[in-house]
Amino acid sequence: MNKNIIYVDHAATTYVKPEVFEEMRPYFTDLFGNPSSIYSLGRESKKAIENARSQIAYCLGVHPTEIYFTGSGTEADNWAIKGAAYANRKKGKHLITSSIEHHAVLHCFQFLEKEGFEVTYLPVNEEGLINPDDLAKAIRPDTTLISIMFANNEIGTIQPIKELAAIAKEKGVIFHTDAVQAMGNIDIKAKDLNIDLLSMSAHKFYGPKGVGALYIRKGVRIDNFVHGGAQERNKRAGTENVAGVVGMAAALKLAYENLEEYNRHLRKLSDRFINSVMERIPYVRLNGNREKRLPGNVNLSFRFVEGESLLLMLDMKGIQASSGSACTSGSLDPSHVLLAIGLSHEIAHGSLRISFGERNTEEEVDYIVDNLVEIVGKLRQMSPLYEDFIKKGGQ
C-alpha cells in the first residue's frame, strides 16, 4: 500500500491478503475451467469450490451442504430475506428486523412492505443494543422471519445473537443474521447459536470483493432468488466465481486461525485511540457500547463540526476514514443508526468512524490523534455553533 496512506476504513473493505491472492491466482489464468464442465479442467474447478465450501462450513461449525455462494453480502441478505418471506407467505406475512440494519437488509424489508408484508422494526437502546424482551413481545402467530445483524457496521455494537436466536427457535420463527461485519472478528458457530440463515462477504475479512455466502440451515426452506442454471444444487444460478470462492475460504480460514491475536491487536489500537482522543479533545462522545463492540471499530461524534469536512481534512493528511456508513456518503442524511441510538441531527452530522485492521500500528494511531486534535480545533474555530457555545459560557 502507498506508504503515505493510513487506511483505517476496514469496515468499508479490506485489502486482499497476499497469501489469499496467491491461492486465487491459478484460477484466473490456468485453472479457468467452468465447474459445470465434465472434463478435467472443469472438475478441477469444481473440486476447488467444494474444498472452499468445506473450509467455510468447518469455520462456521456447519455441514458443507448448508453453504451457498453468492455474488456479495448484499445478495446473500436479499436472498435470505425475500426468499424466506415468500416461501412462507401462506403461513404469515409478518416480519421482524431492527432499526439499525445495513441498507442491504433494511431496503429489502421496505420492498417487502410494498409487496404487502408487515414489518416490525425493533428499537435499540442508546448503545445500539436490542432488548431480547422486545423481540419476544413482537413475535406474533403470523411472524415468519426475524433478521437481526450480528454486529453493526457503523457503531460496531455486537447484538446478543444467542439469546435472540433462542427466542426465535422457541417460537418456531426463521432467524437470519447479517454477519457481514462480524465474520473474521468473532468466532461464530452458526449451529451452536441456533442461526437458520447467515450472510457473509469476503471483502470484509481480507478476501476479494464480489463474493459472499449464505448459510442455510438444513431443513429451512427459502425461495430461489437468482434463476438460471443448476449451480449451487439448483438454488443459486450463475457460473461460480471460482477464484473468488477460493479466496473467501482462504481468507476465512486465516481469520479463524488468528482470531484471538487479531482481536487483541485491534482492541489495543482502539483502546489507545479512544483513550487518547477523550483525553485530548473536549466535547466528544463514543457511539456504541464500549465493550460489546467489534474490536477494530471506533465511532465518535465531535460536537460543533461536520463529518464530511473532517473526512476531507483527514484525507489531506493521508488518513482514510469514514463518516457513518460508506454506503450513505452519497446522501446528505445523517446515518439512520446514529439517529436510532438517539443522537440529534447536529451530533450525528459530526460523526467519524475509524475501523482498524491488521496492518495498523500504534504509531499510526498517534498520528491520527495528533491530526484530529488540530483538525477538530480548526473546524471548531470556523463553526458558528462553537462560537455560540463559547459565548454562552460553554454550557
* Cβ within 8 Å of residue 44, ≥6 positions away: 31, 33
DSSP E strands: which ranges in 162-281? 174-178, 197-201, 212-216
Least distance in Å: CB of 308 to other proteins? 4
CA atoms within 13 A on the CB side of 272: 19
DSSP reduced 3-state for 144: strand
Out of 313, 341, 368, 372, the only residue in the binding site for other proteins (CB under 8 A) is: 313
Least distance in Å: CB of 374 to other proteins? 13
Binding mask 228-247 for other proteins (x = CB under 8 A): --------------------
Least distance in Å: CB of 31 to other proteins? 40
Specify the residue, 57 or 305, whose C-beta has the smaller distance to other proteins.
305
Specify the residue, 275 or 344, whose C-beta has the smaller distance to other proteins.
344
Reference 177, options 76, 44, 30, 32; nearest CA is 76
DSSP E strands: which ranges in the chain? 6-7, 67-70, 94-98, 118-122, 143-147, 174-178, 197-201, 212-216, 284-286, 297-302, 319-320, 351-355
Query: What residues are annotated to the active site?
Result: 327
The whole-angstrom separation of Cα 28 and Cα 158 is: 37
Q: Which stretch binds other proteins (CB under 8 A): 165-173, 225-233, 258-266, 379-387?
A: 379-387
The whole-angstrom separation of Cα 209 and Cα 9 is: 15
Out of 19, 362, 387, 390, the only residue in the binding site for other proteins (CB under 8 A) is: 387
Binding mask 68-107 for other proteins (x = CB under 8 A): ----------------------------------------
Out of 45, 309, 335, 351, the only residue in the binding site for other proteins (CB under 8 A) is: 309
Least distance in Å: CB of 391 to other proteins? 10
Residue 5 contacts other proteins per CB under 8 A:
no
Specify the residue, 244 or 324, whose C-beta has the smaller distance to other proteins.
324
DSSP reduced 3-state for 70: strand
The CA angle 311-316-322, to the nearest 5 degrees, is 25
Q: Which stretch binds other proteins (CB under 8 A): 18-26, 236-244, 287-295, 299-307?
A: 299-307
Q: Which stretch binds other proteins (CB under 8 A): 52-60, 124-132, 252-260, 303-311?
A: 303-311
Reference 34, options 227, 214, 231; nearest CA is 231
Site residues for other proteins, window 317-376 (CB under 8 A)?
330-334, 344-346, 349
Instruction: Say which amino acid occupies 377.
Output: G
Residues of this chain that interact with other proteins (CB under 8 A) are 304-306, 308-309, 312-313, 316, 330-334, 344-346, 349, 381-387
